[in-house]
Amino acid sequence: MADDQSQPPQVAPQAAPGQDQARPSEPPQTPEDKATAAQANSQRGRLFALFGVAVLIVAVGYLIYWLLIGSHYVSTDNAYVGADVAQVTPLVAGAVTEVRVADTQPVRRGEVLVVIDPADAKVTSERASADYDQAVRRVRQDFATTDQLDAQVAARDADLARASAQIASAQSDVAKAKIDLDRRQILAASGAVSGEELTSARNAYQTAVANLAATKAAGAQAVANKKAAEAQLAAQSALTKGSTAESNPQAQAAKAALDQAKLDLSRTVVTSPIDGVITHRQVQVGQRVAIGAPLMTVAPLQAVYVDANFKENQLRRVRLGQPVTLKSDKYGGHLVFHGRVAGVGGGTGSAFAVIPAQNATGNWIKVVQRLPVRIRLDAQELRDHPLEVGLSMTAKIDIASRGDDRPQDRDQTPAANRQGVEP
């Protein structure tokens, strides 16, 4: 040991400048090193084999899951809550005097929302009422005029009968005067009748003839008067025939105007058309509103539905009535809603876009389209856990089910809501 420590350390000879230094050779592997390397390679092979087995197990498991479960469902997170909301608009114009609701306030069908100043409508209603009363009295006057003209026709009949009798009497007078004149003319030749008597007979005959002509003219006048009276009666009867004072067309027109005025007066009180929650209120007290101006919106939360936008390659086995499970971010993944397919949209969103895609252009790129599927939710679950319009949902359809094509499944609005009551 002393000799080894006394020896100076050996210094490796340095290569001359400009000459490559010799790379030291690797030390030869010992049997122990070879055994360690072989053991490491074997362990690495076992790890790769285990990994391959794990991948194979996962692949087989996923295949089994797909065949038994996954292939029976289609799902999407492109789904949103919707509802057939009611737009509240006034049917009469005027200044708003009351606004009785606010946003987020629940309302019932028939509940008063807005009151419009009824002063103008009241004046119009009173004027229409007076016009109706006047129309009824005018019709009653027409009925009285009809009765009067009917009496005039009867009087003209009497005049005509009297004229006929007068004509018959005048004809008798003419015949008598003619006989007297003829007799006197025969006797005048023998001088038995004086000329004065003959002249008187001749004058009497001429007078009788004139009276007959005048009587016939009076008879013709009586006929004309009767025809005129009958025409007046017919014209007046056309206004009153087949009706009463209240059912006459003139009175009915005035009554319709009165009903319209009363309807406009009642429309100054704007009520809720359905049950729901007030949203997007735009009206304020003192604001003058026009007919059809949007005041607010009523969202029927008890009758909401879900529109799920599925890819076109997911819809091959989707049928009406198939059960659907849904989840909402509002309640988290632990709460599951249930529903059924109520219908499939008639076109994709791009087909009905304001600016539809022009797929005939040269730079066309195929994009998988989505089609909306309407899902009707369970009413009891909606009452227990309300959903607001516009919330996002995750929908999964059981396409293994045959579904049900009954007509009631096509209607996503419960009948109770259409009648304005809780379903």
Q: What is the CATH number of the domain that holds 328?
A: 2.40.30.170
Question: Among residues 278, 296, 314, which one ends one of the domains?
Answer: 296
255 and 277: one domain?
no
333 and 404: one domain?
yes
171 and 243: one domain?
yes
Give this prediction's pTM: 0.64
How many whole angstroms separate alpha carbon 103 and alpha carbon 265? Answer: 26
341 and 360: one domain?
yes
DSSP of 293-355: ---EEEE-GGG-EEEEEEEGGG-TT--TT-EEEEEETTTEEEEEEEEEEEEE-SS-TTTTSSS
129 and 244: one domain?
yes
User: Could you give the number of structural domains in the chain?
Assistant: 3
CATH number at residue 174: 1.10.287.620
Q: How many residues does the chain have?
A: 423
How many whole angstroms separate alpha carbon 334 and alpha carbon 157? Answer: 99
249 and 147: one domain?
yes
138 and 270: one domain?
no
Question: Among residues 296, 313, 339, which one ends one of the domains?
Answer: 296
Helices (H) and strands (E) counted in the chain, each on its own, are 7, 14
Per-residue pLDDT of the chain (423 residues; tens, 9 = 90+): 334 444 444 444 444 444 444 455 555 667 776 677 777 777 878 888 888 888 888 888 878 766 766 678 899 999 999 999 999 999 999 999 999 999 999 999 999 999 999 999 999 999 999 999 998 988 888 888 888 878 888 887 887 888 888 888 888 878 887 787 777 777 666 666 667 776 777 788 788 888 878 888 887 888 888 788 778 778 877 777 877 878 888 888 999 999 999 999 999 999 999 999 999 999 999 999 999 999 999 999 989 999 999 999 899 889 999 999 999 999 988 899 999 999 998 888 888 888 877 777 777 788 888 999 999 999 999 999 999 999 999 999 998 887 775 544 444 444 444 434 333
pLDDT at 147: 81
User: Nearest-CA neighbor of 230 among 329, 108, 342, 146?
Assistant: 146
Q: Hey, is 222 helix, strand or coil?
A: helix
Which residues, including other chains, have CB under 8 Å from residue 3's CB and lie 6 or more apart?
none
191 and 269: one domain?
no
Distances 128 to 94, 250, 255 between C-alpha atoms, Å: 19, 13, 8
Structural domain contains residue 29? no
| One-letter amino acid for residue 345 of the chain | G
Structural domain contains residue 2? no
Domain containing 334 equals: 73-85+297-418
Structural domain contains residue 107? yes
Structural domain contains residue 36? no
Structural domain contains residue 27? no
Structural domain contains residue 99? yes
Pairing of strands 332-344, 269-271: unpaired
CATH number at residue 99: 2.40.50.100
288 and 379: one domain?
no
